[in-house]
Amino acid sequence: MSAPLIVLLPGDGVGPEIVAAARRVLERVGAFEFTEEVVGGASIDAHGMALTEQVLDACREADAVLLGAVGGPKWDSTDPDAPRPEQGLLGLRKGLGLYANLRPVHPSPALVGASPLREERIRGTDLLVVRELTGGIYFGDRGREADRAHDTCVYTAAEIERIAGTAFDAAAGRRGRVTSVDKANVLETSRLWRETVDRVAAGYPRVELDHMLVDNAAMQLVAAPARFDVILTENMFGDILSDEAAMLTGSLGMLPSASLGDGGPGVFEPVHGSAPDIAGKGIANPLATILSAALMLRHGVGMPGAASAIEEAVEAALARGIRTPDLAPVESEVPPMSDLPGEVAVGTEEMTDAVLAELQVSDEPL
């Protein structure tokens, strides 16, 4: 059996640093074939566009895609005709048919003090955001004429049915609750969303469904996050709510994601951005990318045991007090690692070393 083919898309900013860290971990747990391509701002610089057809074809031929981050002030523009790094993400999602984005949010017990919320508020939080990824306002008709602009939000019942099915399937294997988030008191697309989700729910009698307006959902994520099991929502709402939910973990640097379609290669990436202000400084948190690699092993290449081993190693490293700057104040004292004499794990490479140290349980790959 041939080794799984993984396309690495480091992207911009801290992307190359965190993807390199995840690759080190992947090489520890299995045999893979890697190819590396450019996307986002790096692709604009090289090819004048954020995603080339050649790169998209390479991704289609892969077993899975591991993405770093795209974007940065270098490519910011209000010119509607200027290429933007984010077009690379949208192109990947559309080109690979990735309609379901999964973002698990499970605060580490070791990081309860890093969350801006009190421990009693986040205790017991274990939720999954299921976000529709290829419809809605991000893919609707848009335009600008003089001092007028428009962005159109469009959904079909078929698009809603398939993402709802993903959420209900996930809930059936979890705690059996789906909260569907919309704005049905204002938006016609949300009224179609709610009607369609109700119809899909009828096929899952053991899964409980409730509907929640997006403004209330944003409030409840802060007030009582442990009440949620699976949050199902459309593209833009999911984009916003999942970033809010990430802060329950203490940092955007802790949240992985998986973008999946119907059987083709998925794209696995951290939720955080390219962080150009710290790019090249060696202090970016690699854990969201390492955990995204674990999701890739579980959902992309059929290696759930290796995925669990990585997740357990991350938890063990955090339990030992290892922190990157986003997880602890720079002036805080981080205990040295006894198996790495003289080093204090506060940077990207050292955090990766800490995870690898927890994975080194034998001389053979896991």
Distances (CA, A) of 149 to 90, 131, 152: 20, 26, 10
Domain 1-98+256-366: which CATH class? alpha beta
Distances (CA, A) of 316 to 313, 334, 357: 5, 15, 10
Q: Which of 324, 312, 292 is nearest to 359 (CA)?
A: 312
- Domain spans in the chain, listed from the N-terminal domain onward: 1-98+256-366, 116-249
Average pLDDT, the chain: 90
pLDDT in tens, 13-59: 999 999 999 999 999 999 999 999 999 999 999 999 999 999 999 99
> Would you say residue 366 has pLDDT above 50?
no
> What residues are labeled active site?
138, 183, 215, 239, 243
The fold for domain 116-249 equals Isopropylmalate Dehydrogenase (3.40.718)
pLDDT computed for residue 346 by the predictor: 67
- Supply the pTM of this predicted model: 0.87
pLDDT in tens, 113-137: 777 778 778 888 999 999 999 999 9
Query: How many whole angstroms separate alpha carbon 259 and alpha carbon 261?
Result: 7
Strands 230-233 and 148-151, sheet pairing: unpaired
Residue 142, SS3 per DSSP: strand
pLDDT band at 344 (very low <50, low <70, confident <90, very high): very low
pLDDT in tens, 32-43: 999 999 999 999
Give the least confident one: 126-140, 307-321, 340-354.
Answer: 340-354
pLDDT band at 328 (very low <50, low <70, confident <90, very high): low
Average pLDDT over residues 225-245: 94
Query: How many whole angstroms separate alpha carbon 304 and alpha carbon 293?
Result: 11
Q: Note whether 1-98+256-366 and 116-249 share their fold.
A: yes
**What percent of the chain shows pLDDT beyond 70?**
93
Check if the beta carbon of residue 130 is closer than 8 Å to that of residue 100. Answer: yes
pLDDT computed for residue 204 by the predictor: 98
> Would you say residue 334 has pLDDT above 70?
no
Handedness of CA 9, 15, 18, 20 (dihedral sign): positive
Distances (CA, A) of 106 to 2, 65, 192, 264, 332: 34, 23, 31, 27, 24
Residues whose CB falls within 8 Å of the CB of residue 310, separated by 6 or more in sequence, listed in order: 25, 29, 290, 291, 293, 294, 297, 355, 359
Residues whose CB falls within 8 Å of the CB of residue 338, separated by 6 or more in sequence, listed in order: none
pLDDT in tens, 256-305: 999 999 888 999 999 888 999 999 999 999 999 999 999 999 999 999 99
pLDDT in tens, 158-198: 999 999 999 999 999 999 999 999 999 999 999 999 999 99
Rg (CA), the chain: 20
